[in-house]
Amino acid sequence: MTTRIDARFAKLATENRAALVTFVMGGDPDIPTSLDIVKALPKAGADVIEIGMPFTDPMADGPSIQAAGLRALNAGMTLKKTLQLVADFRRSDDETPVVLMGYYNPIYVMGVEKFLDAAKAAGVDGLIVVDLPPEEDDELCLPALKAGLNFIRLATPTTNDKRLPSVLTNTSGFVYYVSLTGVTGAAIPDYSKVGASVARIKGHTALPVAVGFGVKTADAARTIGAQADGVVVGTAIVDALKNSLGPDNRATAKTVEAVAALVRELSAGVRSARKAAAE
């Protein structure tokens, strides 16, 4: 089964460039603005869109994404409304892959089967659920694969060669390599090691490998884009959004453009990566 994610990475491989994978929190800073932002992402150069499903207790996230989740929850965001956001986006874009990213509890409480049906109907292509390691594959991973959704797994510096095969077994779409041990938005990693890490993972899988955590600038995106199949940017985008907000964290006329402007810069970085590397 080919998903929009598979198609997109295949197309970019023929163009010899990495994918720009952008993360925004669903419902941040409010639901209508969030939809406008998601709609603006492909035009600004995002190749894959990750939409965060807000959760009260995001244990693997740093302060920026924690705050984004709280803004969304305060704006009335729920898992149902996040799925509706994807459905609304799909009315005007049937090509850009959408990945939902978050934690298991809201999905478990909705019911796995009900969630997968709704996600499929809304036009979701893949899932990243941070607190479901391969040891818990029966919970959501296997049912999601059966439903035709990609289940994208994180591989980390602590995922050694012995463990890597079990992490990759039921992974599909792409592998998300977390370039540092830490929470989202933490310190800038040592980029020189990224190429070797990507090569290590590619030794075990034919899937594309996207790299994230700590990528904040067009320069960083260019460096990573030369070494990996995808560059994931989250915290920097969430911060650009936050910095555009008015009093009480309300959206302003500048909010959508603030996000789009950063994504355009990052996209230029990713698109020039292989050229720069070839010179």
Is residue 50 part of the annotated active site? The answer reads yes
Following DSSP, what letter does each residue of 216-273 receive, concatenated? -SHHHHHHHHTTSSEEEE-HHHHHHHHHT--GGG---TTHHHHHHHHHHHHHHHHHTH
By beta-carbon proximity to another protein, the closer residue of 57 and 190 is: 57
Residue in 20, 31, 46, 79 binding another protein, rule: CB under 8 A: 79
Kindly list the strands in the beta sheet with 175-178, ordered across the sheet, starting from the edge strand earlier in the chain.
Answer: 150-151, 126-129, 98-102, 48-52, 19-25, 230-233, 209-212, 175-178, 154-155
Structure tokens at 207: 């899937």
Phi, psi of 45 (to 5 degrees): 115, 10
Task: Considering only residues 167 through 206, tell me which ones interact with another protein, judged by CB under 8 A.
Answer: 167, 178, 181-183, 186
Residue 153 binds another protein, judged by CB under 8 A: yes
Residue 5 binds another protein, judged by CB under 8 A: no
Is residue 137 part of the annotated active site? The answer reads no
Residue 132 binds another protein, judged by CB under 8 A: yes
Strand partners, 233: 22
Residue 147 binds another protein, judged by CB under 8 A: no
Which one of the listed residues 28, 30, 47, 50 is annotated catalytic? 50
Residue in 93, 106, 143, 202 binding another protein, rule: CB under 8 A: 106
Give the separation between CA 126 and CA 123, rounded to whole angstroms. Answer: 9
CA 60 to the chain's CA centroid:
14
Dihedral angle sign, alpha carbons of residues 187, 188, 192, 196: positive
Query: To the nearest whole angstrom, how small is the minimum distance from the Cβ of residue 23 to another protein?
Result: 16
Q: Which stretch binds another protein (CB under 8 A): 3-11, 18-26, 52-60, 190-198?
A: 52-60
Q: Which stretch binds another protein (CB under 8 A): 130-138, 199-207, 220-228, 245-253?
A: 130-138
Q: Which stretch binds another protein (CB under 8 A): 31-39, 101-109, 224-232, 267-275?
A: 101-109
Query: To the nearest whole angstrom, how small is the minimum distance from the Cβ of residue 149 to another protein?
Result: 19
Residue 259 binds another protein, judged by CB under 8 A: no
Give the separation between CA 65 and CA 67, rounded to whole angstroms. Answer: 5
Residues taking part in catalysis: 50, 61
Residues that bind another protein (CB under 8 A): 55-63, 66, 73, 78-80, 103-110, 130-136, 153-160, 163, 167, 178, 181-183, 186
